[in-house]
Amino acid sequence: MNVKVAPVRFCVGEEGVFQVTTRSKDVTVPSGRDFGFLERNPGLVPPLGLLVPLVLLIVLITIINPVFLDSRNVFNVFRQIAIFLVLGTGMTIVMAARGIDLSVGSTVALTGCVAGLVLKSGIFGDGLASAFAIVAAIGVGAAVGFVNGFAVTAFKVPPLIVTLGTLTAVRGLAYLVMGSDQVRSFPETFLWIGQGRPFGLPAAGAIALAVVLLGAFIMNSTRFGTYVLAVGGDRSAAIRAGIRVRRYEMGAYVICGALAGLAGAMLVARLNAAQAVLGATMELHAIAVVVLGGTFLFGGYATLLGTFLGAIFLGVAENGLLLMGVPFYWQQIVIGTTLVVAVAIQLYRFRRQGMASG
């Protein structure tokens, strides 16, 4: 028999009812045949499609250099992935609303410097200073996100242009705050978020996993997540349905900035040093893990499971290149090429499914 199968994408109907609507196509299904798990859950197809390449990559790197599976190396991989995951979670939420934030790398630098200066201020004891440094980093990151969101929603400036401008401006602020110096030797209570090993596991990885799970809950089980996806799917229809579009776009940027602040604190804790050069090119890492995972670059579809797998893939690839002795500049070439190829594949797949135009 023939059935209509349509790809999953959030949009809003004229009556304010959220629907999954894209161009559908006829698919012949044998009579009496039940749909499989992936056919009933098409949203899992993009992220799970990364599993086979990930497994093959791990096997290849292990064959070339068995040190890859050494417990210390695996620990370092997951500690590195933690930063990608935190940044990627925020970027996923922004992209779901059809936005982008190129300033997250600079925000990591500024918030890391702020955290370092708070810790070295001597105003508080170690425990209180550590907590205040983390809160300050998150707060400054949220403020950067608010500026981005305000410029996008109030002045109607394209997100790419706004965040490209704040990328430079925020990096300048980091140098204004820290100069060319660096601060080092922070309290153990603060270093725990970057170097801790509870039960032999990286504390940074546990924090990142909690962030991803919280992000998944927000996007899948709250009105905020539903409205963000609706705005990304069809902004005009969302406005007609009575959704306060600007509020949800603003919220997405604030969350992204706040998570960049948390990532900045975690990075400084991992390195035990704060300086204005931190976070360079991290915006590319964040975008790469999101797009690799299958989140649609132009809004309306997001998957934090995909972001999780994308972060693992990128972290494993970078660590593998390092173990093979590949120079740093070749690693940058690989990351840039991977991003372009991932976007090209995504656009091809979504066009075939009727979810992309142009």
226 pLDDT exceeds 70?
yes
20 pLDDT exceeds 60?
no
Distance CA 173, CA 162 (A): 16
* Residue 18 maps to a domain: no
* Residue 139 maps to a domain: yes
Specify the CATH number for the domain of residue 101.
1.10.3470
- Nearest in space to 193 (alpha carbons), one of 254, 138, 257: 138
What are the tens digits of pLDDT across the range 277-328? 999 989 999 999 999 998 988 888 899 999 999 999 999 999 999 998 888 8
Structural tokens at position 293:
């995972």
* Residue 295 maps to a domain: yes
The tokens 């978020």 sit on which residue?
193
* Residue 25 maps to a domain: no
The total number of structural domains in the chain stands at 1
Q: Strands (DSSP E) along the chain, which ranges?
A: 2-5, 10-12, 18-20, 25-28, 182-184, 273-275
* Residue 253 maps to a domain: yes
* Residue 348 maps to a domain: no
Instruction: Kindly state the DSSP code that residue 67 receives in the 8-state scheme.
Output: G
* Residue 30 maps to a domain: no
* Residue 309 maps to a domain: yes
Residue 174: give the domain boundaries: 45-342
Instruction: Kindly state the DSSP code that residue 298 receives in the 8-state scheme.
Output: T
Spatial neighbors of 252 by CB under 8 A, at least 6 apart, are 93, 94, 96, 97, 99, 149, 228
What are the tens digits of pLDDT across the range 254-280? 999 999 999 999 999 999 999 999 999
